[in-house]
Amino acid sequence: MTVPHMTVLVVGATGSIGRLVVEESIRQGHTVRALVRTPDKARQLPSEAQVVIGDVTNPGTLAGAVDGILAVVFTLGSDGAGKVGAENVDYGGVRNVLSALGSRTVRIALMTAIGVTNRTGKYNQTTEAHDWKRRSERLVRASGLPYTIVRPGWFDYNGPNEHRIVLLQGDSRQAGDSSDGVIARRQIAEVLVGSLRSDHALRKTFELVATTGEAQKDLDAVFAPLDADPQDSLDGVRDMANMPLNDEPKRVRDDLNEMTRLRLPERGARATTRRSNLGGQGDKLA
């Protein structure tokens, strides 16, 4: 599903990345729907953006946000809200928006973070933010929707001439500081929005960093060499297999089952196989 103009819902639209995603979407000719928690914050957005008031932790507020959209960009963040925030916003927010879509097919761009598969570092031990963001990635993969998952490096730690995009896979940079990679916020927005209409970005998960040099003009050529995630895998290609499905909380396995069920009629027999296998097959869906 690649169309030139879409109504794009931005979830996290008032955040440091979301604001730039709103601007970039408008620049690329899309109609933008911005999910905003409070009317006050909507004032900082461009007047072209359609504002919908809602909270991702309250599913009842999301129907208007998803009405008529063809794409969603998730840039949610619950920084400072600890484990509960990570579960309810970074993970639960993605689940609730995907659920609100019902059986409709829309293109997804999800932002998580470089190092998201690092479970043992101090940051994840304290916040569980990596684990919940990774589970949000898994929901997106289980949904069967066309997606791109972007794991940016450290925001705006790049030097003035570090704009050449480098996409990595396997999430092997896990120092937990800017030595893992740096990237300008504006380029994160460009990659998220650019992925929405690129067939070369489909079913791909990658870390996004920049090195010395000019930004590439053609994002398709940057996405094209990447490997797609294996069909029916819960994890990104070459990710560490350190989150076995059998050890996951029951509520998380239930959510994965529900994600698969939502689009069963469209996805036919393979989805049925997936559903029946969830809960007992390691990190594979089928």
Ligand X SMILES: NC(=O)c1ccc[n+]([C@@H]2O[C@H](COP(=O)([O-])OP(=O)(O)OC[C@H]3O[C@@H](n4cnc5c(N)ncnc54)[C@H](OP(=O)(O)O)[C@@H]3O)[C@@H](O)[C@H]2O)c1
Binding footprint of ligand X, residue count (CB under 6 A): 26
186 binds ligand X (CB under 6 A): no
154 binds ligand X (CB under 6 A): yes
The residues near 55 (Cβ < 8 Å, ≥ 6 apart) are 37, 61
Q: Do 246 and 280 meet the contact criterion of CB atoms below 8 Å apart?
A: yes
Give residues 104-143 in contact with ligand X (rule: CB under 6 A). 113-114, 129
Nearer to ligand X (CB atom), residue 185 or residue 253: 185
Nearer to ligand X (CB atom), residue 127 or residue 233: 127
**Residue 185 C-beta: closest distance to ligand X, Å:** 8
What residue has token string 């480098």?
166
CA distance 132 to 81: 13
**Pattern of binders to ligand X over 208-247, x per CB under 6 A?**
----------------------------------------
CA distance 210 to 157: 10
173 binds ligand X (CB under 6 A): no
14 binds ligand X (CB under 6 A): yes
**Residue 60 C-beta: closest distance to ligand X, Å:** 13
Which residue sits closest to ligand X, CB atoms considered?
Answer: 15
**Residue 104 C-beta: closest distance to ligand X, Å:** 20
DSSP-assigned letters across all residues of the chain: ---SS-EEEEETTTSTTHHHHHHHHHHTT-EEEEEESSHHHHTTS-TTSEEEE--TT-GGG-HHHHTT-SEEEE----TTSHHHHIIIIIIHHHHHHHHHTTT---EEEEE--TTTT--SSHHHHHH-HHHHHHHHHHHHHHHT--EEEEEE-EET-S-TTB-EEEEE-S----SSSGGG-EE-HHHHHHHHHHHTT-GGGTTEEEEEEEESBPPPS-HHHHHTTSPPPPTTBSS-TT----S-GGGS-HHHHHHHHHHHHHTHHHHHHHHHHHHHHTTSSTTB--
Segment contacting ligand X by CB under 6 A, of 9-17, 141-149, 218-226, 262-270: 9-17
181 binds ligand X (CB under 6 A): no
Nearer to ligand X (CB atom), residue 17 or residue 245: 17
Give residues 22-61 in contact with ligand X (rule: CB under 6 A). 35, 37, 41, 55-57
152 binds ligand X (CB under 6 A): yes
**Residue 50 C-beta: closest distance to ligand X, Å:** 16
**One residue of 6, 9, 12, 96 binding ligand X per CB under 6 A:** 12
Give residues 57-86 in contact with ligand X (rule: CB under 6 A). 57, 75-79
Nearer to ligand X (CB atom), residue 55 or residue 227: 55
* Site residues (vs ligand X, CB under 6 A): 12-18, 35, 37, 41, 55-57, 75-79, 89, 93, 113-114, 129, 152, 154-155
